[in-house]
Amino acid sequence: MDETRMLTGTASRIQANTDKRRAQWNKTVLIVACLLPGFVLLTTFLLIPIAQAMYYSTYNWNGLGPLDNFIGLDNYRRAFSEPVFRGAIKHSFIIMGLSLLIQLPLAMTLALILVRGQLRFQRFFRTIFFLPYVFSEIVAAYIWLYVYNPRGGLLNRFLEIFNPAYAGTAWLTDLDTVLVAIFVVLTWKFFGFHMLLYMAGLQNISREVEDSARVAGANEYQVLRFVTLPMMRDTIALTVFLSILGSFQQFIVVWILTGGGPAFRSELIVTYLYKFGIQRMQLGYGSALAVILFAMTLLFSIGYQRLVLHRTMAD
């Protein structure tokens, strides 16, 4: 009796073990099968090209024929000693700064008005504000080419109404106005997106929390400053992140509006890369620029996630 029980016990244990092992095996297969496509795509289209770019960046190479002129880190040295590239980095930072200081607060204000204000045509305005984001960047840029056109463009015509003697400004070719003119287009194009994110964030905040603050005697500013905005922290952190990355990677709008000109005054990192790497057929140098851009965005992303996004999640 005992023996049988023991035997069956062993058998069931063995059975349980095999089951466990099989389950484990199945699980492994499942994980591998699920990861494989992503892994293949990531490797072919991301990791290998990055490795290739790093390799090319150590050569003086015009993109045609064999790589036979190894120059070590000269391309990197050249990039950082090139005033045009330094200017491009500076412009990217200016666009970034303006986005954070003007574009995001604007988006937040509109979101607050739309969600908290007792507006009658809320949906109508929401659609209007979001509309520019739906256009492709190319369409947006071409629309603004007409607006800025020095020969009878919309903006100059509009200013003429107030000052008939106004001689007109070539907004995109004036060295002093070009970067701001581009920033206006980028704001027009992207504030709707940030606004939508803020609206979603606001809708997640219970009105009761705000109301209780009011009952406790807080004025509207205090409610906003100490209740609403702190509760929006996650959303704000996310839009800041997207906005910064977007400024570094901006290409299409600038390329169509000015091509980085006049005299490199609106050159951004990516337009510089395209112009000096691709158009001038200096693929080695272009690769070095791409690696620099990659390193910048990667470091920023990791740092930001660690310091800001991570903390928000933990809260």
Partner 1 sequence: MNKIKVALLLCLLASGMSLVACGGGSTAEPTPAPTAAPAQEQVAEEPVEAPAQAADTCSETVEIEWWHISTAEAEQAYWQSKADEFIAENPCVKINITVLENEAFKSRLTTVMQSGQPPDLFQSWGGGVLWAYADAGLLKDISPALRGDWQDSVAAKAALDLYSKDGAYYGVPWQWGAVGMYYNKDLFEQAGLDPENPPKTWSEFLDTVQTLKDAGITPITVGEGDKWPGHFWWVYLAIRNGGEDAFLKAFTREGSFTDAPFVKAGEDLLELINMEPFPEGALGFSYGDSASAFGNGEAAMELMGQWHQSVQRSNSESGEGVANLGWFPFPMVEGGAGNASDVLGGGDGIAVGKDAPEEAVAFLRFLTLPENQIQALNDVGFGPPTMVGTESAITDPIQRAIVEARNNAAYFQLYYDQFLPPAVGGAVNDAVEQLFAGVITPAQLAQQIEDSAAMELGN
Contacts with partner 1 in 240-269 (CB under 8 A)? 255-256, 258-259, 261-265
Query: Does 307 sit near partner 1 (CB under 8 A)?
Result: no
Cβ at position 262, least distance to partner 1 in Å:
5
Q: Helix or strand or coil: residue 67?
A: coil
CB 290 within 8 A of CB 76: no
By the rule CB under 8 A, 37 interacts with partner 1: yes
Q: Which two tokens stand for residue 233?
A: 């922290």
For partner 1, the closer CB: 283 or 289: 283
Cα–Cα distances in angstroms (integers) from residue 145 to residues 117, 158, 229, 256, 275, in the given order: 35, 15, 37, 8, 21
Q: Is 197 one of the binding residues for partner 1 (CB under 8 A)?
A: no
Q: Which is nearer to partner 1, 56 or 129 (CB)?
A: 56
Residue 280: DSSP 8-state: T
CA 241 to each of CA 81, 135, 300, 301, 307: distance values in angstroms, whole numbers, following the listed order = 29, 22, 9, 8, 12
Q: Which of 8, 28, 109, 279 binds partner 1 (CB under 8 A)?
A: 279
167 binds partner 1 per the rule CB under 8 A? yes
Q: Which is nearer to partner 1, 172 or 202 (CB)?
A: 172
Helices (H), 178-305: 178-203, 207-215, 220-223, 229-231, 233-249, 252-257, 269-273, 283-304
Residue 88 interacts with partner 1 (CB under 8 A): yes or no: no
Q: Which residues bind partner 1 (CB under 8 A)?
A: 26-27, 29-30, 33-34, 36-37, 40-41, 44-45, 62-65, 138, 142, 150-151, 167-168, 170, 172-173, 175, 255-256, 258-259, 261-265, 274-276, 278-283
